[in-house]
Structure 1
Amino acid sequence: MIVRISGEGQYELPDTDAERLNELDNRAVATAEQNDEAGFRELWTQMLELVRADGNELSEDELMESDVILPPRDISFAEAQGEFTGEGLIPD
């Protein structure tokens, strides 16, 4: 799975981590809908850390189509509530 973190770059994430990322995404949607900013921030940090730690960062000249585009690290909670809705960033 190719994941882009807006403002940072692309990562090739092993398929074994795709399910975990989707679980975190679904939980982030729930916290955003419940207006739980602290819970959202914790899950958002876990999502970014998973991609950075387990993903292989692609070089800038190795541009590939992204399967998932994550918002920037510093997304506001109001912006997150607009993006983390329904099935979230990763459709089930």
Structure 2
Amino acid sequence: MIVRIMGEGQLVLADSHFAELNKLDDELLAEMESGDGPGFRRTLHALLGKVRELGEPLPDDSLEPSELILPASDATLEEVRQFLRDDGLIPG
């Protein structure tokens, strides 16, 4: 799957990594719902860091359609709410 992190670029991420990412996504959702700002920030950074770690960056001059778009690491809680689906940021 091709994933875009806003303001950073695109990465190719194997479907096998989504179970691990969904755990962080669930934690992020819980922190958003409870209004835990510091927890939200920490978990958003952890989620994006894990995507960077597990993903293979596409070249900067490559422009492929992104199947998943994630917010930038400095996104606010309200900005992240705009990215949410019924099951969080990460499908599944």
Q: Is the pair's TM-score, using the shorter chain for normalization, greater than 0.5?
A: yes
Q: What corresponds to 1:55 in structure 2?
A: 55
Structure 1, unpaired ranges of 5+: none
Q: What corresponds to 1:71 in structure 2?
A: 71
CA distance in structure 2 between the aligned counterparts of 1:4 and 1:27, rounded to whole angstroms: 21
**With structure 1 as the length reference, what TM-score do the two structures score?**
0.84
Cα distance, 1:84 vs structure 2:
4.2
Report the AA paired with residue 59 of structure 2.
S
Report the AA paired with residue 69 of structure 1.
I
Aligned residues: 92
SS state of the match for residue 3, structure 2?
Answer: strand
Structure 2, unpaired ranges of 5+: none
CA distance in structure 1 between the aligned counterparts of 2:39 and 2:30, rounded to whole angstroms: 9
**With structure 2 as the length reference, what TM-score do the two structures score?**
0.84
Name the CA shift for 1:84/1:35 in 2 (closer, same or farther; >3 Å). Answer: farther
Which one is further off, 70-79 or 27-36?
70-79
1:28·1:84 contact (CA, 8 Å) conserved in 2? no
2:24·2:46 contact (CA, 8 Å) conserved in 1? yes
2:18·2:90 contact (CA, 8 Å) conserved in 1? no
SS state of the match for residue 18, structure 1?
Answer: helix
SS state of the match for residue 46, structure 1?
Answer: helix
**Identical residues among aligned pairs (%):** 41
1:14·1:55 contact (CA, 8 Å) conserved in 2? yes
Alignment of 1:76-87 (within 5 A): 76-84=76-84, 86-87=86-87
